[in-house]
Amino acid sequence: MTGRLNSAQPYALGLFRIVVGLVFACHGAASIFGVLGGAMGTHGGTVPAGTWPGWYAAAIQLVGGVLVLLGLGTRAAAFVASGSMAYAYFDVHQKAALWPIQNGGDLPVLFCWSFLLLVFTGSGAFGLDTLLARRTGQQKQPAAEQTPVAA
């Protein structure tokens, strides 16, 4: 059973990356373009362009989410996205209460740690990073054959 699960790991990771990137990009699109309910549920409202930190966070969400979704520059995009979510949690949410369940910071925490995971794992299957690496002739070891780090 473990062998089967290990062989499916790059595909599960690729699907995880796609879902996380899509949801993150949707948050950015909602804030910048007012679609999908608008900024923070304002029913079509947007974040004013150039306002700190809201507009910049939305831009990171949109661009970073699309890059992660496509698997293009996944590690770098995930690193920036993870940092933006850590900032969002500590600057906005933790002031209200210590625990994410109390301060409404569940989503930033989950995004932060999800993106940090992608920084260390890479894009998995279905990513443009893998396709471009093959086209440029770089030889990469497939994710399924990589030896996991033992704790």
- Average pLDDT value for residue range 65-89: 96
| Residue 10 backbone class (left: φ over 0; alpha: ψ -120 to 50; beta: rest) | alpha
This prediction has a pTM of: 0.81
- Average pLDDT value for residue range 57-80: 96
pLDDT (0 to 100) of residue 2: 85
Average the pLDDT over each of 72-76, 95-99, 140-144 and give the range with the smallest value.
Answer: 140-144
pLDDT (0 to 100) of residue 149: 63
| Cβ contact 144:6 at 8 Å | yes
pLDDT (0 to 100) of residue 109: 96
- Average pLDDT value for residue range 76-80: 97
128/148 Cα distance (integer angstroms): 23
pLDDT at 139 over 70: no
pLDDT at 59 over 70: yes
pLDDT at 27 over 70: yes
pLDDT (0 to 100) of residue 17: 96
148/110 Cα distance (integer angstroms): 23
Between 142 and 35, residue with greater pLDDT: 35
Average the pLDDT over each of 36-40, 53-57, 76-80 and give the range with the smallest value.
Answer: 36-40
A 10 A CB-CB count for 87 gives 16
Residue with token string 């033992």: 150
